[in-house]
Amino acid sequence: MEEYKYSDKEIQSEKHLSVLNVPVEIPISELEAQINAKIKGLIYEDNSYEDEDNDNLKAKVWKISPIKVVAIDSSFLFEIPLKIWVSAGYKVSPLGITMSGYKDTEFSIRIRLISKIGISPDWQIHSDTYVDSYDWITDPNVKVAGIRIPIKSMASRLLNKNFDKITKAIDDQVAANIELKKSVAVAWQLAHQPVLLSKEFDTWLVISPTAIVMTPLLSKNNILRSVIGIKGFTQTITSASKPVIPPVPKLPNLAIVDKVPENFRVGLISLVSYEEAARLATARFAGEKFSFLGGKYNVEVTSIEMYGQNDKLVIKAGLTGSIKGHIFLKGVPHYDPATQKLSLKGVDYDLDTKNTIVKTAGWLLQGQFSRMMENKMVVPVGDQITDAKKTIQAALSNFKIIDGVLVKGTLTDIMPDKVYLTPKHIYSVVFAEGNVNLRVDGLKSF
């Protein structure tokens, strides 16, 4: 009896877990330019002479020339030249005469900060900055009545006390001005859009993203790099019009991983009807006679029919000669990627057929007739798979979805999945594996 586990629609809608790679490339020079554009002028201001430390100082801090940025792995070294204005209160008593008041001075330092940039699960960029070292460009200098007021030590105390305010100002600027979430949300939306692979065959690639992962931001060759991986299920759909997709879910939280896998996978399908497979098999048997027991018995295959019974293919063979009628054999269909042919494994007689042969034509069992049938039951389907791979590869080579958004990928390996039997067709499904990138201009820099 015919029995099937799968329908044609189920096989054509089969989904495969894949990863769509989105490279992120940020030139350090561009990051440096962005930081200098955002951090300029006055950075810090202390307008009170009296505070908890009673330092009797006011201060203002400006950036006086461009910040230099050097990336080391996932950390950044910022070198920032600063001009510092200080108004210092004084009280001196030269020659027994007490004098007091306030004097202003300006001096410059070069401060070196180390900042480690990270990304939180909600896609917010954050940095953790601390002072590595600093040196004086010009010394603070105040004189009152010809007496030098030693404020360099006081200025140092002021700086040390307020370094956390300066580093916080840097961190606040990084968080406010380096935006990643919006650009990733664009990639997330685009990843859901069907891609027309072949207009001739009405073939679409549909991706159903499920999660996003990302590698840490690391610097190499003066470029800050990371890879965002959009995990999801891929499927190829035959449709005369653009497939309708469900509403796109909101951008999921980010997971940081050491490495984003590159295994993009899409199913390639070849199919053959039972009638066509039977016709090809019958042609191979045409005019061929099989002899048994030294020619005492002879049979000839006159017709072949095929259908499915769950995971096995049933062969109904018409015989003439020493035995007339039909016999039934079963085998497991198999696709061989080396020969690109559909064949059968483990062909043997159906139980009812075997019981009948034992009673009436036992010699048919001795002649390994089932092995002969197995060797002849070969259907070439490689051209369909090769053509499908070429079509998809051509589409993925340099496919522009919209301006500034490019799909680019390479299919390399062909990995067999299995053969599926449906009421109408024998499907050979293989996986075309490789890597596919989604390049978004907005993700090349912040």
* pLDDT tens-digit readout, 160-205: 877 887 788 778 877 776 677 887 888 788 888 887 777 776 778 7
User: Taking a C-beta distance cutoff of 8 angstroms, is the pair 151, 174 a contact?
Assistant: no
Q: What's the mean pLDDT in 28-39?
A: 80
Separation CA 36–CA 80 (nearest Å)? 10
- Can you tell me the mean pLDDT for 17-21? 76
For 54, the token pair is: 């009673």
Which pair of tokens denotes residue 184? 């990733």
Q: What does the pLDDT read at residue 85?
A: 85
Encode pLDDT of 147-171 as tens digits: 666 667 777 877 787 788 778 877 8
| Per-residue model confidence (pLDDT) at position 98 | 47
Among 164, 136, 154, smallest CA distance to 44 is for 164
CB 352 within 8 A of CB 330: no
What's the pLDDT score for residue 114?
A: 92
CA dist 334 to 252, 285, 331, 374, Å? 40, 21, 9, 11
The residue-averaged pLDDT of 30-43 equals: 79
Residue 398 has pLDDT above 80, yes or no: no
In which band, very low, low, confident or very high, does the pLDDT at 14 lie, cut at 50, 70 and 90?
Answer: low
- DSSP string for 241-295: SPPP-PPPPPPPPEEE-S-----EEEEEEEEEEHHHHHHHHHHHHTT-EEEETTT
Alpha-carbon span 106 to 352, nearest angstrom = 105
Contact indicator for 156, 409 with CB cutoff of 8 Å: no
How does DSSP assign 343-410, residue by residue? Answer: EEEEEEE-HHHHHHHHHH-THHHHTTHHHHHHHH--EE-HHHHHHHHHHHHHHHHSEEEETTEEEEEE
Backbone angles phi, psi at 118, to 5 degrees: -135, 175
Mean predicted confidence (pLDDT) in 86-110: 65
pLDDT score at 50: 55
Percent over 70 (pLDDT), the chain: 85
Query: Mean of the pLDDT values across residues 111-132?
Result: 87
- Mean pLDDT across the chain, nearest whole number? 80
| Over residues 334-348, mean pLDDT | 85
Least confident piece of the model among 29-33, 89-93, 272-276: 89-93
* Residue closest to 237 by CA, chosen among 202, 208, 286: 202
pLDDT at 112 over 90: yes
pLDDT band at 385 (very low <50, low <70, confident <90, very high): confident
pLDDT band at 305 (very low <50, low <70, confident <90, very high): very high
Cα dihedral: 179, 184, 187, 191 (round 10): -170
Residue among 375, 305, 367 nearest 344 (CA): 375
Ranges of each domain in the chain: 29-177
Question: Is 230 a residue whose pLDDT tops 90?
Answer: no
State phi, psi for 141 to the nearest 5 degrees. -150, 115
User: Residue 253: which pLDDT band, with cuts at 50, 70 and 90?
Assistant: very high
pLDDT digits (tens, 9 = 90+) for 67-87: 898 888 778 888 989 898 877
**Angstrom distance (rounded) from CA 328 to CA 306:** 10
